Amino acid sequence: MGRWFGAVATAFALLAANGVAAAQTAFPSKPVHIFVPYAAGGAVDILARTLGEVVSRQWGQTVVVENRPGAGGVVASQALTASPPDGYSLIVVASGHATNPFLYPKLPYDTFKDFTPISLLASSPNFLLVRADSPFKTLGDVIAQAKAKPGSLSFAHAGLGTSTHLSGELLKNLGQIDLEAIPYKGGAPAINDLLGGQIPLSFNNGPESVGQVQAGTVRALAVTTASRAPFLPDVPSIGESVPGYDTEVWWGLLGPGGMPRDLVEKLNKDFVTALNTEAVKERLNELGAYPIGSSPKAFDTKIRADYEKWGPIIRAAGIRAE
């Protein structure tokens, strides 16, 4: 009898110990930090904070969004790679993450080895804009003048190597036309000069463009994605005039390199669930963006595909970060 009681006591002790261990290792057991590589108020920041609020409620744990702008995302990315791969430090990156190796030849990290893809979260088309009273009514008008008078047209963009800059370079490359790229310190100043008549064309992202288009202050000649945007169905895609043209700005969630597979799967599941809530969908729609919520593998494939796609174009245009 004594042995039986001893065995039962030992079994209960083991169960209790296992329960304590599980409680100690349950994720998350403390605040999770999400780095944002850009200043507060932009699309990446809004997406990170919106998702953070939803996931925080799911977890019953605080999500802290940290803005660490600088060097096109390099500052925040370097901070992430210095963090342990335990899921408590994450980053929401934009599509520039895949092209930074070409813009910054001496990155302090490896774009592939030092990060763990978790999910491609969302994407948005860029827009080719003109002033409302512009003589250019279609993309065809722009291409016709660019071919008839090479170098006579210029386009504004949000800075060297940004998705809006690369959208213009891809049009030059595939459309075989000569346009001068004029860098600005962000999309808002570019639109201001477009409205002021200082520049005839501007490539801008969705959050900057949709409200202006709907207000009638600018006219969208085209979107940069292969298909038209459902929230502006009357605006054609550049691909309708330039075969093979397709690009967008995307946002995705990464962790430090070497994260355990089960933790990656949990984070993927929780953030994809958050993306599919009505609150997040509505916020993305306001930004002119679409939720995606891919698998980790699909996100890794997307990063590598963009790396291969943009490398030759960036080299051909001789683009280097400021």
User: What residue ranges define each of the domains in the chain, with the CATH number in brackets?
Assistant: 31-124+248-317 (3.40.190.150), 126-240 (3.40.190.10)
Distance CA 179, CA 181 (A): 6
Q: pLDDT tens per residue, the chain (322 residues)?
A: 455 445 444 544 444 444 433 434 689 999 999 999 988 888 889 999 999 999 999 999 999 999 999 888 999 999 999 999 999 999 999 999 999 999 998 999 999 999 999 999 999 999 999 999 999 999 999 999 999 999 999 999 988 888 999 999 999 999 999 999 999 988 889 999 999 999 999 999 888 888 899 899 999 999 999 999 988 899 999 999 999 999 999 999 999 999 999 999 999 999 999 999 999 999 998 888 989 999 999 999 999 999 999 999 999 889 988 6
CB 166 within 8 A of CB 314: yes
Question: How many residues are recorded in the chain?
Answer: 322
d(CA 219, CA 136): 9
Q: Is the dihedral of CA 226, 45, 303, 297 positive or negative?
A: negative
**What pLDDT is stored for residue 28 in this prediction?**
97
Let me know: does 225 contact 282? Beta carbons within 8 Å. no
- Quote the pLDDT of residue 12: 47
DSSP-derived letter for residue 30 is: S
Do 154 and 165 form a contact (C-beta atoms < 8 A)? no
Going by their DSSP bridges, the two strands 179-183 and 153-157 should be labelled as parallel
Report pLDDT for 308: 96
Task: Quickly tell me which residue has 């006579």 as its tokens.
Answer: 152
Write down the pLDDT at residue 140.
Answer: 97
DSSP letter string, 267-306: HHHHHHHHHTSHHHHHHHHHTT-EE----HHHHHHHHHHH
Nearest Cα to Cα of residue 33 among 108, 88, 101, 105: 88
CB 118 within 8 Å of CB 285: no
Following DSSP, what letter does each residue of 71-129 receive, concatenated?
GGGHHHHHHHHTS-SSSSEEEEEETHHHHHHHH-TT-SS-TTTTEEEEEEEEEE-EEEE
* pLDDT at residue 24, as a whole number: 43
Cα–Cα distance measured from residue 123 to residue 109, given in angstroms and rounded to the nearest whole number: 25
